[in-house]
Structures are given as C-alpha cells and as structure tokens.
Amino acid sequence: MRKIAPLLVAGAVSVASWTAAQAENLGLGTMSQGTLSFTTGTVLAKVLNEKTDLEARVQPNSGESVLIPLINSGDLDFGIANVLEAQQASSGTGVFSGKKQDNLRIAAILFPLRTAFFVHEDSDIKTLADLKGKRVTVGFSAMGTVDTIAKALLHAGGVEPSDIKPVMVPNVVVGAEQFLNDRADAFFFAVGAAKVAEVNAAQPVRVLAMPDDAASIARLKSQFPDGYGVTVPPLPNFAGVSAPTTVLGYDNTLLTGTHVPDAAIRKVLDGIANNKDALAGAFPLYRGLDPDKIYKQDVATAFHPATIAWAAAR
C-alpha cells in the first residue's frame, strides 16, 4: 500500500486537515470501554499503528446516539457501529427518527457480530422462552438500536417485553453490572466481549441459544430483517459457550462520513485487508473478516464511494 504521514486520533478531530503536505488527522470513535465496539476499535488502531505508517488512538462514547452524530458532523472521521445502527441513522428511523444522518457512510464491513442473552451457569433458565417472568436487561437508553436487536431476539424465542420483568439500563455494560449485583437474571451482550469474560470470571455464565427453526427465524426477521442465526463454537474467548450454539448474528461495520477524503479511506482499507492475521491474532472476532466482503451490495446504508472503487479494483 502507499504510505501516508502519521495519523493521530486525539479526541474528536476532523479529517478536514488531510493534505499531501502535512500530517493527516483522524478521529476513531467507539462505544464505551468494555463493549465489543471498544475492543474492535482499540485492536484496529493498534494494528494500524504497528503494521502501517498510521498512528491511532480511540475515543470511546456512551452509545451510538452520541457516536454517530459526531461522524455525521465531521467531528469524528471513523467509528465502530453495527449495521442496524448505521441503517437507522442513515434513514432517520428508529432511535434516529427525525434525525437523519445524511453524511453517514459505511467504510467497511468488518465481521459478523454474535449476540445472546447470558444467565448463571447453574440457572434453571435453559431457553429464551424460560425468560418469561424473569428479570432481563432491556431499555439501553444510550444504545437504542441494541435494544431493538435484544427485543428481536426475545421475539424469536416467543418472548415479548410484557412477558419479562425489565431491568432498564442505559447500555449493555451497565446491564452486565446489574447481573453481577444480582439485580438481573439475564443480560444481553456480544459473544466474545471482554465484559462477558469479566462477568464469567466472577460468576460463571451460560449463553442461551437462539431457536433456529423456520418459525423462530421468521419472527426474528419480522423485527430485524438483517439478523440471522450463526453457530458459535466453544472457544476460550467465548465465555458461556460450552458446545456449538446458535446465536443472533449481524454485521459489524466501520463507519465514516462524506467529509473523509478518498485517500484516507483507501489507506485505512488497505491497512485492514493487508493485516487480517494481525487483527485476528489480537481479537479473534476478526477471523470473520473477509477482505472480499468489506463492500456488500445488499446493505441498506450507502458505502463511501472510495470503498466501492477500492473493492472494484481488487
């Protein structure tokens, strides 16, 4: 790949200063520390620092309702968010109703996200249907699209919000803390996230499988069309998974804005595609990265034109 001058992520810095004659500035936003988004962004920054001429630091935010508008306004240049967060923001629907983020674009599809509800390892809760009448983390006021996804997963299992005792929390990290403090019987999180490993070390957990029969998948897609079932294997970094288990899958993305120059997009995409092994070595979920699927035609949110051109040139 062609090299560029050092890249600094320091707070919310606009990439407007990108020129051939001076050091380029970049902002990379993630969700809060402990989330999969934060780990994804931190590892990406580390690998870009070590394997390319890029230098990066990460700016965490409380949720997508804070992170994405910063990208849209040009105060951040890239950010980690899931495909539903991108779709709702770019279309002005869901948690972004009336707040369409016209400048938002996808820079890259990174890897599939895998999410589930977790319970105590010795709990008598064996299926999603068993959550009826139980204390379950929902709400996620700072992560509204995650709330949509969690409720779609419950719906796939035949469980409605009225069937549970909701534990309202601002984000998934607080939800995990509520579980640790015995204020919830189940919490929603990404499989393989650092916070789940932390909870598991204190109180061993078990993942609840998503039913994958035709009726259950139809219920899922009625609320979350981009969701799909994916089987996760029992791996050391997948806390709570003791056997191959079907969970809810959907794509994780690297977002950007129309203000980011084509050259910046190309450099970042080259850094990702040329260093998959290093990314996966630091964070196993990057094993799901497919450089040939960094751009997908069937994703609702528009891609940055430089990404489309980059993919066509491969």
- The model's pLDDT over 234-249, given as tens digits with 9 standing for 90+, comes to 988 899 999 999 999 9
- Asked if domains 15-111+251-312 and 114-250 share a fold, the reply is yes
Amino acid identity of residue 285, one-letter, is L
CB contact burial 13-49 (16+ within 10 A = b; e otherwise): bbbeebeeeeebbbbbbbbbebbbbbbbbbbbbbbbb
Radius of gyration of the chain (CA): 19
For 313, residues 6+ apart whose C-beta sits below 8 A from its C-beta are none
Q: Both ends of the chain: CA-CA distance in Å?
A: 13
Which CATH fold topology does 114-250 show? D-Maltodextrin-Binding Protein; domain 2 (3.40.190)
- The model's pLDDT over 59-87, given as tens digits with 9 standing for 90+, comes to 999 888 899 999 999 999 999 999 998 99
Tell whether the model's pLDDT for residue 38 goes beyond 50: yes
The domain segmentation of the chain, as residue ranges, is 15-111+251-312, 114-250
Average pLDDT over residues 102-128: 97
At residue 16, the pLDDT reads 41
Tell whether the model's pLDDT for residue 55 goes beyond 90: no
Which CATH fold topology does 15-111+251-312 show? D-Maltodextrin-Binding Protein; domain 2 (3.40.190)
